[in-house]
Amino acid sequence: MDGGFKTILADPPWRFQNRTGKVAPEHRRLDRYSTLSVDEICAIDVASIAAVNAHLYLWVPNAMLVDGLRVLEAWGFRYVSNIVWAKRRKDGGPDGRGVGFYFRNVTELILFGVRGSMRTLAPARSQVNMIETRKREHSRKPDEQYELIEMCSPGPYLEMFARYPQDGWTAWGDESPEDVQPRGQQHKGYSGGTISRVPRLEPNVRLDADFAEQLGTTLRQQYEAGKSIRQLTAETGYTIARVRRLLEQAGTALRPQGRASSSQG
């Protein structure tokens, strides 16, 4: 990488404490991408490739906010603000398909840091610090970020840990070359579109974990709105066992059998 980048966007492969959980990038079966420790991320010499006056947009998982601030400083920037990505459903409501140990996360954070002295560009003053879009595959960030950044910060632009090339940007990352198929992309069925009606499934077809999670969440919403497992079974054509499994995988608190939901009237 050459030096002189005035704006750097980075989405590091953060290593979560729970490396076997389904959210973890290196989950054995889902095998999304390899990760780095916070020390390893801090050790990347970003200072020598950034311009003297530069902006940094650093994605950080909610659980690792403190580590994010450490990395930002280690790279030679000081924290000044942040941008929230609010994940929305098609109907505009918060996308509750997220995960989280303490809360169900429907937001992700970009830390904004400055090196030296450089204000944001004039259009940034009317730019709100929020991106509201629907989400896509695991860890895939919204394309709207590029437009926002280009409006607020000057080039040359560098994206670190990039997966997909972007016009006008230098991309760096082990999955960024055009001939590399990002590993996470193998997991289809989680393309960002919401499912309003569930698809037909053959009884024994195996479901990709992300797809099962998405289906489960759709069923959960209907179940929590008052539908019974029997109704869901009739409507979807799935077996009772599959409906129960999908609901359980989506973390649904099942009602005692035979008990109608109070919201059903």
Ligand X SMILES: C[S@@+](CC[C@H](N)C(=O)[O-])C[C@H]1O[C@@H](n2cnc3c(N)ncnc32)[C@H](O)[C@@H]1O
Please say which residue, 18 or 261, places its beta carbon nearer to ligand X: 18
Taking CB under 6 A as the criterion, the residue among 26, 132, 150, 174 binding ligand X is: 174
Considering only residues 116-145, where is the footprint of ligand X by CB under 6 A? 139-141
Question: Binding to ligand X (CB under 6 A): which residues in 3-22?
Answer: 11, 13
How far, in Å, CA of 13 to CA of 90, rounded?
28
Site mask for ligand X (CB under 6 A), range 236-255, x = bound: --------------------
36 is an interface residue for ligand X by CB under 6 A: yes
| 150 interacts with ligand X by CB under 6 A | no
Closest CA to 10 of 74, 53, 63, 96: 74
CA distance 44 to 118: 23
Does residue 235 touch ligand X according to CB under 6 A? no
Q: How many CB atoms lie within 10 A of CB 217?
A: 21
Phi, psi of 136 (to 5 degrees): -120, -140
Note whether 163 binds ligand X by CB under 6 A. yes
CB of 111 to ligand X, least distance (A): 15
42 lies in the site for ligand X, by CB under 6 A:
no
Four-CA torsion 240, 241, 246, 250, nearest 10 degrees? 100
| CA proximity to 6, closest of 164, 157, 193, 140 | 157
Nearer to ligand X, 175 or 208 (CB): 175
Number of Cβ atoms within 10 Å of the Cβ of 182? 18
For ligand X, give the closer residue by CB, 33 or 211.
Answer: 33
Q: Contact positions toward ligand X, by CB under 6 A?
A: 11, 13, 33-34, 36, 139-141, 161, 163, 173-175, 182
